[in-house]
Amino acid sequence: MNDELWKNSACTVVDALLSKTIKPTDVLNSLELRCASVNKTINALPTLCFDRAYDSALKIEAKAETVAGHDSGYPFYGLPIPIKDSYKVAGVRTTFGSLAFENYIPDCSDIIVQIIEKAGGIIYAKSNTPEFEAGASTFNEIFGFTRNPWNTLYSAGGSSGGAAASVASGMACIAQGSDFACSLRYPAAFCGVVGLRPTPGLIPQGPGKLSYQSLSVLGPIARTVNDIGLAMDGFCGFDPRDALSSPVKYPPNVFRQATESPTAPKSFAYSPDLGQAVVSKEVKEIVNHAVNKLSSHGPNMASEHPELDECHEAFNTLRAFQFATVWGDVMIANQDKLKPEVVWNIKKGFELDASALSKAEHLRSDLRLKMIAFLDQHNFLITPATPVTPPKVEERFVKSIEGEEMKTYLDWLALGYAITITGCPTIALPCGKNKMGLPVGLQITGRPYDELNLLKFAAWVENILIEEMACEKNDLISSI
């Protein structure tokens, strides 16, 4: 039976670990077998480090003291978790998806890895990512394409595509990812799982070259909202090396407890495109049906969206600045090794002047205030999580939607980055499938630092839509 532990939710596995009915090595054994079965096909976890993981597991099992109950402050207690290949794990190959770092093995781990391990998580793999997390399609020149577990001809999304595909295929219970424009939400939607982009500062990151940036944040991917809550209990924390790290100390198990209390608000707003994105008719139809189902269960729905017209200029400018700041020196030394989209983005950053940056920051501040005022009125904002269903795996990026051409590799990401620029937390979760059986997701945006209520609403939404989709939560593992 232990070889099928991979089929269980993260919460079920952790409860069994805490009760000592199973051991961390049992979970690792199951996941190792599952990886051997499907990883070659999906290519979600290109770097495995099971030897390191078993060492960690045996140390946990050998602990003399008894760790009792969920209030121990040790929320993972031996749960294996893969780390995105853009974050350093000491002694484990970390490539950032780039030929410039093809053989890089760091001496020390990033803060998020230290926090996960302190919480009892065991690192056993690195998940695939596009070069420097650039783009919403997961491929690179080192490891190749990550494929969608529901249909391997299609994309798993990006940049946390390896993380989402590993969870959807049963190679992980939860996975660590990150989100700049849409990098937790698009992969979650394409793979039929759940991805949370939290408020900047809740999950510490770095140390890095741009300590005060708030566009890129870390977050979890899981099969259920309940598992997202568990992940947040283990991912959140304070570290002074992250300049934006929040010193708020949450009680043990508080995020998981929130997901166990599904709650619908009195009202929410819905927009099929935020007034900013081109969205396919297919996605609109599926999400509209799901949202109408939610509204029929009580909450009042307002068909409105905040005014976010300046989101494109603000995001594109600040993204270019961030790419130039973080990766500019790498491009100067290794331009021939970088993909053209990355080179273009870095060069755009080099071309910026103070007036462009000043304007972008002013726009960002205005956009945030508009979104907060809107949420104060409507509680939550629901939109499609992606503008299209998963594209073919070989597509570098979506170039046309409903006949409208996308001018750059960023244009099809507007549904994601329009939220990113406001700094509000947002969660993507499944809401249906298209005629080919490929998942479609919606995203729910809430107020900054209001993750607990966002998770309560998301859990309620999940319960309604799982019933509508006529499946059990654990059926969200693909049948591959």
Catalytic residue among 9, 30, 56, 84: 84
Q: Smallest Cα–Cα separation from 429: which of 291, 285, 235, 281? A: 291
DSSP category for residue 407: S
| Contact of 178 with 84, CB cutoff 8 Å | yes
261 is catalytic: no
Catalytic residue among 98, 166, 183, 280: 183
159 is catalytic: yes
392 is catalytic: no
Q: What tokens does 76 get?
A: 């993972």
d(CA 97, CA 128): 7
| Contact of 221 with 168, CB cutoff 8 Å | no
| Contact of 218 with 205, CB cutoff 8 Å | yes
> How many C-beta neighbours within 10 Å does residue 295 have?
16
Sign of CA dihedral 6, 7, 12, 15: negative
> How many C-beta neighbours within 10 Å does residue 331 have?
22
Rg of the chain's alpha carbons, rounded to an integer? Answer: 21
Q: Which residues pair with 400 in a beta bridge?
A: 405
| Contact of 76 with 194, CB cutoff 8 Å | no
Q: What tokens does 461 get?
A: 């939404």
Q: Smallest Cα–Cα separation from 77: which of 253, 296, 321? A: 253
DSSP string, 225-266: HHHHHHHHHHH----TTSTT-----PPTTHHHHHHTS----S
Q: Which residues pair with 429 in a beta bridge?
A: 442
d(CA 340, CA 76): 40
Catalytic residue among 159, 166, 169, 216: 159
d(CA 419, CA 308): 9
Cα-based angle 450, 359, 310 (whole degrees, multiple of 5): 60
Residues serving a catalytic function are 84, 159, 183
